[in-house]
Structure 1
Amino acid sequence: MQVSLPALKAFESAARLGSFKAAAAELSISPTAVSHHINKLEQRLSVTLFMRTARKVALTELGKELAAATSQGFQTIETAIEKIAVKDKQINVATTSSFAALVLIPALQEFYTQYPESNVNITSGESIEANNFTLPIRLGEIDKQSSADVIKLEQFNLFCSAHTAAQFNQTEQMTIYTTDWKNSSLPSVPLQAWLQLNGLQNKQIKVRRFDQELFGIQQSLLENAYVFCSRTLTQGYVKAGVLIELNTQAINSQLCYYIANKEKHFSRHNFMFIEWLDKLLTER
Structure 2
Amino acid sequence: MPRPYDLPSLGDLSCFEAAARNLSFKAASSELNVTPAAVSHRIKALEQELGQSLFNRHYRGVELTEAGALLFVSLQRGFETISDTVARIRNRQDRVGVSIAATTAMSGLWLTPRLAAFWKAHPGVAISQIVQDSGTAQGVDLSIHYGDPAREGDETRLLFRDRILALGTEQFAESHRIATLDDMVEVPLIHTQSGLNAWTEWPDWFQALGRPPPTGPGFFLNNYLISLQAAEDHIGAVLGWEGLLGGYLGSGRLIQLVPDAMPSPHAFYLRIHGGASANARLFADWLAELG
Q: TM-score, normalised by structure 1?
A: 0.55
Query: Identity over the aligned pairs, expressed in percent?
Result: 16
Separation in 1, partners of 2:123, 2:150:
37
CA contact under 8 A between 1:234 and 1:243: conserved in structure 2?
no
Q: Which amino acid aligns with 1:215?
A: I
Give the corresponding residue for 1:251: 263
Superposed, which structure 2 residues align to 1:1-284 within 5 Å?
87-125=94-132, 126-131=134-139, 134-145=141-152, 149-152=156-159, 153=161, 155-165=163-173, 167-169=177-179, 173-182=186-195, 189-198=200-209, 200-201=211-212, 204-223=215-234, 225-246=236-257, 247-253=259-265, 255-261=266-272, 264-267=275-278, 269-280=279-290, 282=291
AA at the equivalent of 2:124 = E
Distance 2:154 2:101 in 1: 20
- SS of 2:260's equivalent in the other structure is coil
Describe the SS at the equivalent of 2:246. Answer: helix
- Cα distance, 1:234 vs structure 2: 1.9
Equivalent-residue separation in structure 1 for 2:202 and 2:213 (angstroms):
13
Kindly provide the CA deviation profile for residues 7-65 of structure 1, in whole angstroms up to 9, marking residues without a partner as x.
xxxxxxxxxxxxxxxxxxxxxxxxxxxxxxxxxxxxxxxxxxxxxxxxxxxxxxxxxxx
Gap regions ≥5 residues in structure 2? 1-92
Task: Tell me which amino acid in the other structure corresponds to 1:130.
Answer: Q
CA shift, 1:163, in A, is 4.1
Equivalent-residue separation in structure 1 for 2:199 and 2:127 (angstroms): 31
Deviation at 1:177, TM superposition (A): 0.9
Residue aligned with 1:151, SS: strand
Q: List, as ranges, runs of 4+ consecutive aligned residues in structure 1 with deviation greater than 6 Å.
A: none
Distance 2:111 2:233 in 1: 23
Matched position secondary structure for 1:277: helix
Q: 1:163 to 1:108 in 2, by over 3 A?
A: farther
Shift of 1:147: 9.5
- Please, which moves more after superposition, 90-99 or 146-155? 146-155
Contact map agreement 1:128 1:136 (CA 8 A) in 2:
no
Q: CA deviation at 1:261?
A: 4.0
Length-normalised TM-score, structure 2: 0.54
Q: Is the 8 A contact 2:166 2:256 kept in 1?
A: yes
1:228 offset after TM fit, Å? 1.4
8 Å contact kept, 1:178–1:229: no
- Deviation track 1:153-184 (CA, whole Å, cap 9, x = no partner) reads 4643212234445642286842121212335x
Q: Which amino acid aligns with 1:176?
A: L
| Matched residues, number | 191
Unpaired segments ≥5 residues, structure 1: 1-85
Structure 2 SS opposite 1:168: coil
Q: Post-superposition shift, 1:209?
A: 1.9
Structure 1 position 206, deviation (Å): 2.0
